[in-house]
Amino acid sequence: MSMATESSAAPLLEAHGLTVRFGKVTALIGLDLTAPPGQVLAILGPNGAGKTTFVRTVATLVRPTAGRLLVYGRDVVRDPAGVRRDIGLAGQFAAVEPTMTGRENLEMTARLFGHGRTAAKRAAAVVIEQLSLGEVADRRSSTYSGGQRRRLDLGASLVGGPRLLLLDEPTTGLDPVSRREVWDAVRDLAASGTSILLTTHYLDEADELADQVIVIDHGAVVASGTLSRLKASIGQDVIEVAVTEPAMLGAVAQILERVTSNSARLEPGGRHASVPAPGGPAELASVIGSLEDAAIAIDEIGLRRPTLDEVFLTLTDEAKVSPAAAGASINGSER
Amino acid sequence: MTAIQAVVTPAISRPARTPGIVPAASQVALRALRKYVRTPGLIVMGVVQSALFLFSFRYVFGGAIHDGSGISYVEFLVPAYVASIVLFTGGGIAVAVAEDKAQGFTDRLLSLPVPRYSLVLGRTLADSTTNVWSILTTAAFGFLFGFRLPGSWLDGLAALGLCVLYAVVFTVVFIVMGLFAPSPQAAQGMSLIVFVFAFLSSGYVPATSMPGWLQPFSKYQPVTPMVDAVRSLLTGSSSDVGLALAWSALLIVVFTPVAVLRYRRA
């Protein structure tokens, strides 16, 4: 029985028709996914898409209303204790005790994972080294910077030697320097072979860290795959124009839309316009010709691959309703 | 840089077993106690608050309160105050539990392979310990403000033991309150409800001095027999002790499973 479930060939995650309801609110609706181990998997989605609910279900904090969820082949409902041994959770808030030192926090969590006193000390020392917390390890964590506190929290989820690390919006609310620190730490962990599941609404974060991306919206998977395949599947290249005079942006948009028959995205109040260009270089040439005819001065024009933002907006419903509003909510750092 | 990254960090092994109830509960308790001891405001304010309350009752209201039986108000008040001090200081427990929930600490604990009941046990151990500290300091202030044991030292110790039992009982009640509170602020507010039980008991004024419609509540709520039992023990009697123990057992039996179950889904 346990031999079968502990098979190392088991997928990291396997969800079949996973549904979670809180009273009248349905957070996940029949979510299906399979994820291989040994990778950084990013769950992307707008706020309220069900990302956090999914992570909490993997962490056995929320019970599925229907469907199944297996973590390394273990069912979260039938064997929650087994799942807990395999995972380390770092939630949206840094769950460290501010009145305790970094080392004390790590040793406590290691003991709670089941380590004995000596093993706990050792695990804490390894994590302190791994996350470069040596200088501050014996200071109370209330004195830490935001990035140090997040790294300590990350460390606390590691002291039990988990096979899967769950990171729920690991950099929300951090300044750019601290974000970099956390990103570097996550990359190092991934390089050492830990599987990582992270949720984020920062697309650049997924771009930086993830091997595989799953986009969810309204509680269901809308797309999945590697980032490059995802970008390719949305397909076309994008023509991007920077005008010299912001007032000319409207005229540029008209030309872009006429040439490509797609609706253009404008940078509100800025100088940039972009549009998907299925015709590639031919359409680019045509746009340049039209701009010259109209005597519109431009600073820059080019053809490029779509950004993850564009992929994302195409995939989620909000994009269809109002691209500008969706863009704001995805990039916003609301907590 | 490359050289440093090439060094393989020693992997952390997965523990062979999940933690047992004792180590898990002691870690939970140790952390709660450290937080208490290392937050000077918590200890100092706790002591100052209990001293101020006692001072006010003893010297401000006390002069106007006569129970007619001839014993001085300080003799009447101090045993009741020590017995029910947990009702005044326990709000801190509810707030701490609600804070852990709001700040993700409880999620972290629940994601670990710890036995679920060790969370309640650890919390209860820690908070009962801090409550024993309030009981002892409050009793010391009682003596300072003029209270003297009416019976023997042994009677005094027995009464103290009963107060410690109440501390454990109400700790569990406050944990449940903290778990149900939607926010730490709400937990603070909810814990004020418990003041009603303290004041509408025989603790501060004789129940017979209350209006007739209020007396049944005062008589049949748990704090009255609990306070009366402590007074009895002090004078070497044992009346109300059985009832107080029964109430304590009932509260523990009802609130502990609620706390354990509620922690699961905090």
pLDDT tens track for A19-74: 999 988 899 999 999 988 878 999 988 888 899 999 999 999 999 999 999 999 99
Cβ neighbour number for residue B10 with a 10 Å cutoff: 12
CB B21 within 8 A of CB B115: yes
With respect to residue B81, please indicate whether it lies within any of the assigned structural domains: yes
CB interface of A with B, residues 145-184, below 8 Å: 156-163, 166
Please, which residues have CB within 8 angstroms of residue B3's CB and are 6 or more apart in sequence?
none
B264 interface with A at CB cutoff 8 Å: no
Class of domain A236-305: alpha beta
pLDDT band at B2 (very low <50, low <70, confident <90, very high): very low
Helix pair angle (A146-156, A117-130), 10° resolution: 140
pTM beyond cutoff 0.90: no
Q: How many domains does chain B have?
A: 1
pLDDT at A267: 77
Given a cut of 90, is residue A247 above it in pLDDT? no
CATH 3.40.50.300 residue ranges for chain A: 2-231
d(CA B224, CA B228): 6
CATH 3.30.70.100 residue ranges for chain A: 236-305
Please, which residues have CB within 8 angstroms of residue A115's CB and are 6 or more apart in sequence?
A123, A159, A160, B15
With respect to residue B13, please indicate whether it lies within any of the assigned structural domains: no
Q: Is A99 helix (H, G, I), strand (E, B) or coil?
A: coil
Please, which residues have CB within 8 angstroms of residue B160's CB and are 6 or more apart in sequence?
B82, B135, B139
Q: Which residue of A has its CA nearest to B107?
A: A61
What is the phi-psi region of residue B146: left when phi exceeds 0, alpha when psi lies from -120 to 50, beta otherwise? left
Domain span at residue B220 reads 21-62+70-264
**Residue pointed to by tokens 């519109």:** A296
Please, which residues have CB within 8 angstroms of residue B86's CB and are 6 or more apart in sequence?
B131, B134, B135, B166, B167, B170, B171
What would the DSSP string read from start to end of A105-133?
A: HHHHHHHHHT--HHHHHHHHHHHHHHTT-
pLDDT band at B6 (very low <50, low <70, confident <90, very high): very low
Give residue A129's identity as a one-letter amino acid code. E
CB interface of A with B, residues 19-48, below 8 Å: none
With respect to residue B52, please indicate whether it lies within any of the assigned structural domains: yes
With respect to residue B4, please indicate whether it lies within any of the assigned structural domains: no
Q: Is A18 helix (H, G, I), strand (E, B) or coil?
A: strand
Query: Across the interface, do A89 and B107 touch by the CB < 8 Å criterion?
Result: yes
> What does the pLDDT look like over B43-78, one tens digit per residue?
888 889 889 999 998 898 887 877 666 678 999 999
Tell me which architecture the domain covering A2-231 has in CATH: 3-Layer(aba) Sandwich (3.40)
d(CA B266, CA B262): 6
Select from A115, A18, A9 the least CA-distant residue to A64: A18
Give residue A147's identity as a one-letter amino acid code. G
In DSSP terms, A225 is beta-bridged to A213
d(CA B240, CA B245): 9
d(CA A198, CA A205): 10
Residue numbers in A near B39 (CB within 8 A): 99
Establish whether this prediction's ipTM goes over 0.95. no
Which helix (H) or strand (E) segment holds residue A283: the answer is: helix A281-293
With respect to residue B9, please indicate whether it lies within any of the assigned structural domains: no
With respect to residue B11, please indicate whether it lies within any of the assigned structural domains: no
Query: Across the interface, do A161 and B15 touch by the CB < 8 Å criterion?
Result: yes
Query: Across the interface, do A161 and B27 touch by the CB < 8 Å criterion?
Result: no
pLDDT band at B138 (very low <50, low <70, confident <90, very high): very high
Q: Which residue of A has its CA nearest to B37?
A: A99
With respect to residue B10, please indicate whether it lies within any of the assigned structural domains: no
